[in-house]
Structure 1
Amino acid sequence: MLPSNPKLTSGSRWPERGVHRMSKVIAVFGAGTGLGASVAHRFGREGFRVALVARRKKYLDALVEQLAVGGVEAAAFTADLSRPSEVPALVARIRDRFGRVDVVEYGPFSTEQSLIPAAEMDAAALEKGIPMFLLTPVEVVRAVSAGVDTARRWSLPPDHRRHGRPPRAPAQRPGPPRRRRPQLPALSPR
């Protein structure tokens, strides 16, 4: 369990090394050998604690060891992401271990799955992927955002491209106003 009052080092606003009260947590759903592992390593280097979620415990344990060698705090959570009903309990386990979830990376794709060309896609093939690629991500967002002040943490500013600043008035050109082109008369049939 994390201490309720981390000691600060010599006037710094950051806690002492090893105290993780302020470090963020990323949950990597689908921590496989490719993108998931890369995301875990990258965010770990940036100071995030890492929750790894996948089906294969053996691989997860090896990835946790790799991250630990790099000084990253990580934990493995085995789960089958094709079962959306299990997601709330999974996220609760992650929160029990880390206290929070700040970032989610969702990318479960295994070598057992194959991409189907769009011309060959039919309803039966599409139906197989619905739990993992549609229903489970919805449950992940619901479970992670439960109890979060969604108005403050999950929304974009009013004009997100300008970081919340009001839009500027259009620039006025100096000098005389531009002349309008004369309208051509409409052609009538002969």
Structure 2
Amino acid sequence: MLAERDARAAAEVERSWHGACELLSHLAAGRQLPPLTVWGLVLHPGEQAYLSFAAGYSRYYSGDGTYTHVDGLFLGSLPFMAAGYAFTAMGNNARRSAAAAEAAYRWREHQRTQVVLTSERVVCNANGRWLSFYFSGVTAFYPEPMNWSVVFEFGDAVPLRLVGESGAAIATYAAWALHGRDGLHEHPALEPLRAAVRNAARR
């Protein structure tokens, strides 16, 4: 059973990689994608949806780092009061440490999401609603197809990371949307995909 499951997972990864290679080859050749019909999500006039995937979603930001400080009042014997104040101090230290850890920057909101790629934006159904990330607002773009992930930075929003078997295809489409065919031909991070396309053409 475990071996069968591993075989299915490996086959799905291979299909996803081949799909990303085919997408790169298609777009790099200047061919257009057929429009995709989507329901629920409302597109803008003139906007076209092209691809839809499931992916892992997360955002990069810090917490507020606040915690509740407790001051205890203990009446009774000296050992009882000493123990009470000691436990209160220990509790405050634990809450302060937890708050400091929460304040650190890290990837948060981890969840599985539906991603729609359109002519204008990346749209994610996260936390029960559709969130739009416009290509025009992207300030930095880090595709990592070998790690099945892509990270976007924005001027007015916290970074977005999409990961999983669809990561290579999402990275490929985003490179095309942001940089055109030149991005597909020249972006260093896409070289593993380009190499796979070249190797397939030689067979």
**TM over 0.5, yes or no?**
no
TM norm structure 2: 0.28
Structure number with higher helix proportion: 2
Higher relative contact order, structure no. (Cα contacts within 8 Å, ≥ 6 residues apart): 2
More strand by share: 2
Q: TM-score normalized by structure 1?
A: 0.30
